[in-house]
Amino acid sequence: MTNRTETDGGESSAESPPTDGSPDDSGRGPDDSGRRSDDSDRLPDDPDRRRVLGYAGLAALAGTGVAGAWYASRPEPDAEPGDGTDEGDDTDGSEDPVEAPDDEVPAVVTRYAPDLYFGALEKWYPTDPRPYVVETDAGAVVDGFTALDEYSAAFRETGTPPAPTVFYNVVEAAPGVDAVQYWLYSAFDQFTVNFHWHDWELLQVFVDRESGDPILLSASAHSRASPNNEFLEPEIPDGSRPGILSEVGSHSSASEVNGLVPSFERLPVGDLVSDVTNDAIDVSAALRAPFAYGLPRDEGARLPFVLPELDGSPLHEHPSLSIERSDLIDERVTVGSWRGLPTPPEDLPLREPGLVIAHPDSAVDADATYALEPLAPLGDEIDDFVGPQLSFEFAIPGFVEDALASHITSVGIPWEQERFADPLSDVTDPAHRRQIDGAEPDGLSNRVVGRVRQLRAGTAGALDGVTDGAADAVADVAGVSLFSLPTELAVRLASEDPTATVTRGGVFEYLRVEPGPHLLVANGPGIAPVASRFVHEGGLARVGGDGELAVVASEDAGWIRGDGRETDGIERVRVVEDYAGVVYDGEPVETDRFAVAVHREGRYTVEVVDRAGVRGAYRVTPDSFDENGEAVRERVETGKAALVRTLRDELDELYALAASLAPDDEDDDSENETDEDRDRDRTASDPVLDGISRARESAAGAVDAAESGEERAADDRLSAATSSLWDVRDAFLTDDQAGYSDAAVEAIDPKALAGIDRANDAIDADL
């Protein structure tokens, strides 16, 4: 499942740099080496706009107010050389801070130093990396093995987080606006989609320089491709400070603003505001949600962790490490192999609150306090962060067997990241960005979203293929429905720079997705993987059936596999369950071949479009799967014959549905009639059943004509089928709706209309 890749090589990182070569959350620079660049590489292009700020001593500026407490006035532009003005300084008349004594923390940094809330299962708290520096020929490096071993040993011995530390850095973000950065280092990261050494996370507090008031809180999410959790114009009264909720294992964070700690509220709760002000978007036609990274803790979701492996061994058994199993995430929420489980684990404990670590001046009841130290000295004391990278293997369903694709993470160094000198590059909500400097970067609107649900047996879940009013009517005939995920899934977006995230309530959200072709894969323990190719046109894109994807437990999975290489190819595949609705919609992962996992108890129409744009379709029912759970179509065909065969089969299903919902025949007292005679009489006396029956006969005749090459005859029979289906719809317009209940009409009528559409498509298609 995992493999070792040296820091200087391997595939693209999960948090890999953007295509323009600038560094990002991964901390890797343009050369992907993981090495710290020299000063010229990391200086901003406009040093007057993006200069790193120093601060004047508090005693010298006492009594000058909040803003004056951390800024000293800059000399006038006409000052003579030698009077304190740097020769050649490009002065704009604005205030310019001067350096503060080394042992004093600027007042604004202390004011907004956050309270840190962790989960009960957390293992790697923010610490100081300098004790793990090793001198090598390459310089002073923080060694991953040393850091993990020594940190774990110290934690195990004392039972308290070793050397809790938060590093600060302050950068001018825009004229009159400064970003106070709080950097948190963890020796290791064990999450569900990746694991790696040296994890740096960031909280940025954007502050109005004149008033000292906070403008925006931006808490770093899982990667540059994930939206941050942000809060615009937070109210942080005197005596309180920002709260940060850290996700177990990944250490991605969310701001705690509404006072309901230690939980993360994506939406308002009662009279309380939510903990984010990120804009809401339509994830699918049925779901609207804030575009913000989710913390499964506190949202009622369960998240399985993967046991990290290196060189084929779990980390706690690796000969180069001395850690113990108890040093890793609790076994209760850890799975050794996702692919070996028949069903998703449903007994994982929910997240619980754990330790609180705060600034010494904080008023919260903290379990420990952290040291607040400047980040700048680390750049002089540490040349690199080194150690192997670990990968997570994503299974991608292919026509014959699943392929594997690695998702590799890398070490990160704050001063090599774009946001270190340009803090606005890490503001991910377009409205928030506009509020600070008026800019509207294109990448902030290039989003990809969707929701994943599980297809399970029974009708207790959602039936998207019918209206709400018809759900009860079809309960006895529907075989499957859509349920919320019992555990969250991992979702990988593969393009030039692959990245992965986890779902939140089944929802996944990606930011800064470059226009062009992409492959999306969803994996989970005990889940048959789903994959779909799509082309992102820019703006907001919804993957799958208008933002909806369905997965199925491995033990329930039936694989629909289609091959169009010997026919006219396959450009697109859409799988629709009769009552659950669209369960797959996308381009095939392989050229002209596809594999889609569905529940074997469902009844599906597989719709395809070939490379010439011609439509085709065929039916898959529980009887279609062999003993291995395979429904293989070696030659996927398009055109008239394929469509009329599908229409015939769909009308058979429609007749069975209508018969199950038809009004009882109270006059039927002919005990001597056979079942066949009784059905015939019932059909003749029921305009709905009669119309569907006549449409079935016409569709069967159209199949014979199409397979014989008689195009005109086939079209005539199809026209007759549509006429009969219109008779069915007209029967529902009578005063008594032909005796059918409202729920029955809502169940039957849309499918009659769908049959008319299918017949018209077949008429328009060539043989």
State yes or no: pLDDT of 11 exceeds 80.
no
Q: Is the pLDDT of residue 64 over 70?
A: no
Instruction: Answer whether 11's CB lies under 8 Å from 317's CB.
Output: no
Same domain, 402 and 529: no
Q: 34 versus 330: which is more confidently predicted? A: 330
In a domain, 336, yes or no: yes
Q: What average pLDDT is seen over the chain?
A: 84
Task: Establish if 1 belongs to a structural domain.
Answer: no
| Inside any domain, residue 68 | no
Tell me whether residue 35 is in a domain: no
Distance CA 119, CA 688 (A): 59
pLDDT confidence bin for 15, thresholds 50/70/90:
very low
Helix or strand holding residue 597 (H, E): strand 593-599
How is residue 355 annotated by DSSP? E
| Angstrom distance (rounded) from CA 693 to CA 687 | 10
pLDDT tens digit string along 689-710?
A: 999 999 999 999 999 999 999 9
741 found inside a domain: yes
Q: How far apart are the first and last CA of the chain?
A: 48
Torsion from C-alpha of 369, 372, 377, 378, nearest 10 degrees: 50
**CA distance linking residue 531 with residue 493, whole number of Å:** 10
Do 436 and 460 belong to one domain? no
Provide φ and ψ at 128, rounded to 5°.
-95, 125
Least confident interval from 311-325, 665-679, 690-704:
665-679
Question: Tell me, what amino acid is at 403?
Answer: A
- Residue 414 shares a structural domain with residue 531: no
Mean pLDDT of the region 523-536: 93
- Band (pLDDT 50/70/90 cuts) for residue 5 is very low
H or E segment to which residue 208 belongs? strand 195-208
pLDDT in tens, 103-150: 689 999 999 999 999 988 999 999 999 999 999 998 999 999 999 999
Query: What stretches of 349-398 show up as alpha helix (H) in DSSP?
Result: 376-381
In this structure, the answer to whether residues 598 and 715 fall within a common structural domain is: no
State how far the Cα of 735 lies from the Cα of 434, in Å rounded to an integer: 58
CATH number of domain containing 732: 1.20.58
Domain stops at, among 420, 440, 460: 440
d(CA 558, CA 499): 28
* Residues 453 and 342 grouped into a single domain: no
Indicate whether 83 pLDDT > 50: no
Residue 208 token pair: 């109005």
Please indicate, yes or no, whether residues 232 and 125 belong to a single structural domain of this protein: yes
For residue 49, what pLDDT is reported? 29
pLDDT at 687 over 90: yes
Q: Which residues of 404-429 are buried (b: 16+ CB within 10 A; e: fewer)?
A: ebbbbbbbbbbbbbbbbbbbbbbbbb
Give the chain's domain count. Answer: 3
Q: 581, 606, 638 — which closes off a domain?
A: 638
Q: Is residue 70 part of a domain?
A: no
Please, which pLDDT band fits residue 195 given cuts at 50, 70 and 90?
Answer: confident
301, 205: one domain = yes
**Residue 342: strand, helix, or coil:** coil
Least confident of 191-205, 278-292, 401-415: 401-415
Least confident of 83-87, 288-292, 526-530, 596-600: 83-87
Q: What is the span of the domain harbouring residue 555? A: 445-638
pLDDT at residue 670 in the model: 58
Is residue 390 included in any domain, yes or no? yes
- Can you tell me which residue has the tokens 């804009």? 279
Instruction: Give the whole-angstrom CA distance, residue 718 versus residue 763.
Output: 7
| This prediction's pTM | 0.83
Q: Assign 381 a pLDDT band (cuts: 50, 70, 90).
A: very high
Asked whether the CA dihedral 283, 286, 288, 293 is positive or negative, the reply is negative
User: For tokens 């010229």, what's the residue?
Assistant: 40
Give Cα 28 distance to the centre of its chain: 23
Cβ atoms 394, 492 nearer than 8 A: yes
> For the ranges 70-79, 244-253, 613-622, which has the lowest average pLDDT?
70-79
* pLDDT beyond 60 at 308: yes
What's CA 301's distance to the chain center, in Å?
A: 14
In the chain, how long is the greatest CA-to-CA distance?
Answer: 119
Cα–Cα distances (Å) from 664 to 410, 476, 686, in that order, read: 68, 16, 11
In this structure, are 286 and 397 located in the same domain? yes
**613 in the same domain as 723:** no
> Residue 637 has which token pair?
């065909």
Q: Same structural domain for residues 244 and 182?
A: yes
492 and 517 share a domain?
yes
681 occurs within a structural domain: no
**Same domain assignment for residues 432 and 455:** no
CA within 13 Å, CB half, 486: 15
Query: Which of 381, 414, 440 represents a domain boundary (last residue)?
Result: 440
Give residue-wise pLDDT tens across range 629-660: 999 999 999 999 999 999 999 999 999 999 99
